[in-house]
Amino acid sequence: MTATLDTATLDTATLDTDALVPGTVVLDETVELRGPWSAVVAAGDVLTIVDLHGNQAVDTLIYDAHDTASRYSAAATVAGQGNLFLSTGSVLRDADGEPLMTLVGDEVGNHDTVGGACSQESNTLRYGHHTKHQHACVENFLIEGVKYGLGKRDLVSNINFFMNVPVETDGTLGIVDGLSAPGKRLAIRAERDALVLVSNCPQINNPCNGFDPTPVRMIVTRPQEV
């Protein structure tokens, strides 16, 4: 499946200083609280994610825009860097170990690879049947993914940007208050044309969003040639 890259409206006169890697603005959008978002980030362009209010988890999936069967692999990414957590320099890889995107800037320093995405089913198991009606990240991914011909079988273990999931000494995982703060940013550079799907996490039953989901900002810039 091929996603469409639209650069026809590129404003070559506009430079963005809010982006962690400045450059010509390709896209600048706000993802509403609890909402889905997607875009194709062209090879060499940089996506800055801004945690506008702090302590917001941003669940993220990445696919090759021209072959969505090539997609982010948590296992290959973790094995490639020998670290569960992501920060500056982390290469986000597909199942063959090939780079999709690289984390080239990070003002937080720790992002989760193992916590997964909340779903209506997992909410029920973790927090009780009264949460069954609550919208969740899996539903956001499905709503956005269908635009590109993606379905539930195409969802894999995702990245949770800004989410703090420490590994305890006994090997268990915790979901605790985030390390981010209002205005904190990270930047990921596309190593090939990349389709990025985001769920601006709607979870209200654990501290990943401070029990209060908030909007985030997505800025795609094209760095200036030196």
Share of the chain above pLDDT 90, in %: 71
- In degrees rounded to 5, what are phi and psi of residue 94? -90, 180
H helices of 27-83, where?
Answer: 74-81
Q: What is the pLDDT of residues 106-139, one digit of tens each?
A: 999 999 999 899 877 776 767 677 877 767 899 9
Question: How remote is the C-alpha of 33 from its chain's centroid?
Answer: 14
> Alpha-carbon torsion 137, 32, 3, 89, what sign?
negative
Distance CA 31, CA 44 (A): 23
Edge-to-edge order in the sheet of strand 184-190: 24-31, 216-222, 46-51, 184-190, 99-106, 91-93
- Per-residue pLDDT, averaged over 173-192, amounts to 91
Cα gap 59→5, rounded to integer Å: 22
Q: Is 121 exposed, middle or buried (0-12, 13-18, 19+ CB in 10 A)?
A: exposed
Q: List the beta bridge partners of residue 173.
A: 167
Q: pLDDT digit string (tens) for 64-115?
A: 999 999 999 999 999 999 999 999 999 999 999 999 999 999 999 999 999 8
What is the rounded distance in angstroms from the CA atom of residue 169 to the CA atom of residue 10?
49
Give Dmax (Cα) for the chain.
56
φ, ψ of residue 57 to 5 degrees: the values are: -85, 135
